[in-house]
Amino acid sequence: AAGRDLDPRGVYRRRCGDIFEQAVALTLQHEGGYINDPADPGGETRYGISKRAFPKVDIANLTINKAKAIYKAFYWERGPHLIKHPSLAAKYFDLCVNAGVSRASKWLQEASNLFGAALAIDGVVGPVTAEYINRYPHPEALLCALKGLAFNHYVNINKPRFLAGWL
Protein backbone atom coordinates (compact mmCIF):
# COMPACT_ATOMS: atom_id res chain seq x y z
CA ALA A 1 0.00 0.00 0.00
CA ALA A 2 2.07 2.87 -1.29
CA GLY A 3 1.78 6.12 0.65
CA ARG A 4 0.53 4.46 3.83
CA ASP A 5 2.15 3.04 6.96
CA LEU A 6 1.10 -0.07 8.81
CA ASP A 7 0.63 0.40 12.56
CA PRO A 8 1.38 -2.40 15.08
CA ARG A 9 -2.24 -3.63 15.05
CA GLY A 10 -2.16 -4.00 11.26
CA VAL A 11 -4.48 -1.08 10.58
CA TYR A 12 -3.50 1.27 7.79
CA ARG A 13 -3.06 4.87 8.80
CA ARG A 14 -2.43 7.93 6.73
CA ARG A 15 0.96 9.53 6.63
CA CYS A 16 1.71 12.62 8.71
CA GLY A 17 1.09 15.08 5.84
CA ASP A 18 -2.39 13.73 5.24
CA ILE A 19 -3.19 13.89 8.95
CA PHE A 20 -1.92 17.49 9.05
CA GLU A 21 -4.28 18.43 6.19
CA GLN A 22 -7.14 16.68 7.99
CA ALA A 23 -6.31 18.58 11.18
CA VAL A 24 -6.17 21.91 9.32
CA ALA A 25 -9.54 21.18 7.70
CA LEU A 26 -11.07 20.51 11.13
CA THR A 27 -9.66 23.74 12.54
CA LEU A 28 -10.76 25.84 9.57
CA GLN A 29 -14.35 24.65 10.01
CA HIS A 30 -14.64 27.14 12.86
CA GLU A 31 -11.51 29.32 12.58
CA GLY A 32 -12.11 30.62 9.07
CA GLY A 33 -12.49 34.31 8.52
CA TYR A 34 -11.15 37.54 9.89
CA ILE A 35 -12.48 38.51 13.31
CA ASN A 36 -11.70 41.54 15.46
CA ASP A 37 -14.39 41.25 18.12
CA PRO A 38 -13.62 42.98 21.45
CA ALA A 39 -15.67 40.32 23.24
CA ASP A 40 -13.49 37.52 21.86
CA PRO A 41 -10.60 36.71 24.22
CA GLY A 42 -8.43 35.97 21.17
CA GLY A 43 -8.73 39.52 19.84
CA GLU A 44 -7.85 40.15 16.18
CA THR A 45 -7.78 36.72 14.55
CA ARG A 46 -7.79 35.06 11.15
CA TYR A 47 -7.75 31.26 10.65
CA GLY A 48 -7.26 30.93 14.41
CA ILE A 49 -3.99 32.93 14.25
CA SER A 50 -4.22 35.82 16.70
CA LYS A 51 -2.42 39.13 16.82
CA ARG A 52 -1.87 38.49 20.53
CA ALA A 53 0.11 35.29 19.79
CA PHE A 54 1.77 36.62 16.61
CA PRO A 55 2.14 40.42 17.01
CA LYS A 56 4.34 40.78 13.90
CA VAL A 57 1.87 39.03 11.57
CA ASP A 58 -0.50 41.17 9.47
CA ILE A 59 -3.62 39.31 10.60
CA ALA A 60 -6.04 41.21 8.37
CA ASN A 61 -4.12 40.16 5.23
CA LEU A 62 -3.01 36.71 6.36
CA THR A 63 -3.28 34.14 3.56
CA ILE A 64 -4.31 30.54 4.08
CA ASN A 65 -0.85 29.37 2.93
CA LYS A 66 0.90 31.59 5.49
CA ALA A 67 -1.57 30.39 8.14
CA LYS A 68 -0.73 26.76 7.27
CA ALA A 69 2.98 27.54 7.58
CA ILE A 70 2.35 29.02 11.05
CA TYR A 71 0.15 26.06 11.96
CA LYS A 72 2.86 23.59 10.99
CA ALA A 73 5.79 25.35 12.67
CA PHE A 74 4.16 26.63 15.85
CA TYR A 75 1.44 24.04 16.53
CA TRP A 76 1.69 20.81 14.51
CA GLU A 77 5.44 20.23 14.98
CA ARG A 78 5.17 20.83 18.75
CA GLY A 79 3.25 17.64 19.52
CA PRO A 80 0.33 16.72 17.27
CA HIS A 81 2.64 15.33 14.57
CA LEU A 82 3.64 12.55 17.00
CA ILE A 83 0.09 11.23 17.39
CA LYS A 84 -0.79 8.44 14.94
CA HIS A 85 -4.57 8.32 15.37
CA PRO A 86 -5.96 10.87 12.86
CA SER A 87 -9.01 12.04 14.84
CA LEU A 88 -7.05 12.39 18.07
CA ALA A 89 -4.18 14.20 16.33
CA ALA A 90 -6.63 16.54 14.58
CA LYS A 91 -8.49 17.48 17.78
CA TYR A 92 -5.26 17.89 19.73
CA PHE A 93 -3.94 20.18 16.97
CA ASP A 94 -7.20 22.15 16.97
CA LEU A 95 -6.93 22.66 20.73
CA CYS A 96 -3.28 23.73 20.34
CA VAL A 97 -4.38 26.46 17.93
CA ASN A 98 -7.29 27.56 20.11
CA ALA A 99 -5.93 27.18 23.65
CA GLY A 100 -2.16 27.07 23.16
CA VAL A 101 0.23 24.14 22.85
CA SER A 102 1.04 23.87 26.55
CA ARG A 103 -2.58 23.85 27.74
CA ALA A 104 -3.71 21.42 25.01
CA SER A 105 -0.74 19.15 25.78
CA LYS A 106 -1.59 19.14 29.48
CA TRP A 107 -5.17 18.18 28.63
CA LEU A 108 -3.90 15.31 26.49
CA GLN A 109 -1.62 14.14 29.31
CA GLU A 110 -4.45 14.46 31.85
CA ALA A 111 -6.78 12.52 29.56
CA SER A 112 -4.16 9.77 29.24
CA ASN A 113 -3.73 9.65 33.01
CA LEU A 114 -7.46 9.04 33.41
CA PHE A 115 -6.75 5.69 31.72
CA GLY A 116 -3.75 4.86 33.93
CA ALA A 117 -0.84 6.40 32.01
CA ALA A 118 0.89 8.09 34.99
CA LEU A 119 2.40 10.73 32.69
CA ALA A 120 3.98 13.92 34.01
CA ILE A 121 1.63 16.79 33.24
CA ASP A 122 4.31 19.12 31.94
CA GLY A 123 2.58 20.51 28.85
CA VAL A 124 5.09 18.93 26.47
CA VAL A 125 4.08 16.00 24.29
CA GLY A 126 7.29 14.22 23.52
CA PRO A 127 8.27 10.60 22.97
CA VAL A 128 7.01 9.29 26.35
CA THR A 129 3.53 10.80 26.04
CA ALA A 130 3.30 9.94 22.34
CA GLU A 131 4.34 6.33 22.93
CA TYR A 132 1.61 5.84 25.52
CA ILE A 133 -1.04 7.48 23.34
CA ASN A 134 -0.02 5.62 20.19
CA ARG A 135 -0.03 2.26 21.98
CA TYR A 136 -3.26 2.81 23.89
CA PRO A 137 -5.87 0.48 22.33
CA HIS A 138 -8.83 2.88 22.72
CA PRO A 139 -7.92 6.18 21.02
CA GLU A 140 -11.58 7.20 20.73
CA ALA A 141 -11.88 7.01 24.53
CA LEU A 142 -8.81 9.28 24.84
CA LEU A 143 -10.42 11.64 22.35
CA CYS A 144 -13.62 11.79 24.43
CA ALA A 145 -11.62 12.48 27.60
CA LEU A 146 -9.62 15.21 25.84
CA LYS A 147 -12.81 16.85 24.61
CA GLY A 148 -14.27 16.63 28.13
CA LEU A 149 -11.31 18.41 29.69
CA ALA A 150 -11.46 21.12 27.02
CA PHE A 151 -15.22 21.46 27.53
CA ASN A 152 -14.78 22.04 31.27
CA HIS A 153 -12.19 24.75 30.60
CA TYR A 154 -14.26 26.57 27.99
CA VAL A 155 -17.47 26.44 30.03
CA ASN A 156 -15.62 28.08 32.93
CA ILE A 157 -14.59 30.99 30.70
CA ASN A 158 -18.32 31.83 30.58
CA LYS A 159 -18.47 33.15 27.02
CA PRO A 160 -21.46 31.20 25.65
CA ARG A 161 -21.37 33.09 22.35
CA PHE A 162 -18.01 31.49 21.50
CA LEU A 163 -18.50 28.08 23.11
CA ALA A 164 -19.66 26.19 20.00
CA GLY A 165 -16.60 27.32 18.00
CA TRP A 166 -14.22 26.45 20.79
CA LEU A 167 -15.56 22.94 21.10
Arithmetic mean of pLDDT over the chain: 87
Q: Provide the pLDDT for residue 16.
A: 56
CA 64 to chain centroid, in Å, comes to 17
Higher local confidence (pLDDT), 18 or 148: 148
pLDDT in tens, 50-88: 998 999 999 999 999 999 999 999 999 999 999 999 999
CA 99 to chain centroid, in Å, comes to 9
Q: Provide the pLDDT for residue 148.
A: 96
Share of the chain above pLDDT 90, in %: 70
Q: What does the buried/exposed string (b/e) look like for 136-162 if buried means 16 or more CB atoms within 10 Å of the residue's CB?
A: beebeebbebbeebbeeebeeeeeeeb
Residue of 115, 85, 122, 118 lying closest to 101 (CA atoms): 122
